[in-house]
Amino acid sequence: MSAEHQNNFQHILPGQHVYDGVLFFGYSPPETLDLVKTFHVRADDVFLVTYPKAGTTWLQEIVWLLMHEGDFEGALATPVYIRSPFLEFKDLTLNEIGLDLASTMPSPRVIKTHLPLKLAPREILVKKPKVIILFRNPKDVCVSYFNFYKCSSSFGNFQGDWPEFLAMFCEGHVDHGSWFDFTKSWWPLRELTNVKLVFYEDLKRNPFGIIKELADFLGKQHLDDVTISRIAAHCSFEKMRENPMTNHQDVYSINSQVSPLMRKGQVGDWKSVFTVQQNEDFTQIYLDKLSHLEIPFTYQLDF
């Protein structure tokens, strides 16, 4: 990302910097991103790879419960962002330092990252831990990210409107950079035996079935259908929005009066925000950048 590129937009992120061509806010400082690359990966780790606003917290809670044999008491005792650390995140106010949390955590660790593959821990490709990649259709991601920008001071009191944010998103001028580059970097890994690709929309359509698949992938085939059903119910959007361990209402930087972190969780909400022209333009940008990958995104659910 060039300096000229950055000057196309007025909004500046707190601590904004460009690292290896990717824009970041100050909560992922360069020295942290350096350390992430050499982070010591354990073979029994589970990495959750998502772009921001793709259903990350949902996946974190599901996978943590699967890896801990449906320990609902444990899940209700500690915030999910402590149980499942955000690797490249460093917030000294919250004392939430992902690298420190992850490094001292007993196995099996459930670790979250929003990084493109080129910035992820190098040992992921060597140690071959379990990796779950969660994709969500980019139109809903963009709308959700816009609302997150408006409600979180982490992004610096964003005052822009929807058209401005849409342009920022399309150019990768948002925290953690381009959705297109992120998606393109992880998509080829889906065929590896230690990697599981999940679509947000499939999880929404069939939570029990997808959670069952995840249990099998994680070597938790012994968990019975009752436990899987309990996890699905515990991790419903409504329950997670009410749950103080998952709704992030304790996080100082998020103004839930503007927009809660867990806002709607719907598939197809983009249709209430995109104009017809914006939708056509975005679709063309997507086709130009990623159509060759033939990723089967779902943009609405008919149920």
User: What span, in angstroms and rounded, lies between the C-alpha atoms of 140 and 55?
Assistant: 11
Q: What is the pLDDT of residue 253?
A: 55
Convert the pLDDT of each residue in 213-267 to its tens digit. Answer: 999 999 999 999 999 999 999 998 888 888 888 865 555 455 455 445 445 668 9
| CA 15 vs CA 29, 102, 115: distances in Å | 8, 23, 18
Contact 228/215 with Cβ under 8 angstroms? yes
Dihedrals φ, ψ of 198, to 5°? -125, 140
Reference 83, options 246, 228, 238, 241; nearest CA is 246
The total of other beta-carbon atoms located within 10 Å of residue 270's CB is 21
Angle at alpha carbon of residue 136, lines to 2 and 220, rounded to 5°: 120
**Looking at the predicted structure, is the pLDDT value of residue 2 above 70?**
no
Q: What is the pLDDT of residue 243?
A: 87
Q: Is 114 a catalytic residue?
A: yes
184 is written with which tokens? 């393109």
Q: What pLDDT, in 10s, does the model give residues 34-57?
A: 999 999 999 999 999 999 999 999
| Number of other CB atoms surrounding residue 18 within 10 Å | 15
Identify residue 65 by its one-letter amino acid code.
L
Name the residue with tokens 């598939």: 267
90-112 pLDDT, tens digit each? 998 878 899 999 999 999 999 99
pLDDT value of position 247? 67
d(CA 13, CA 15): 6
Active-site residue, from 17, 114, 248, 292: 114
- Percentage of the chain modeled with pLDDT above 90: 81
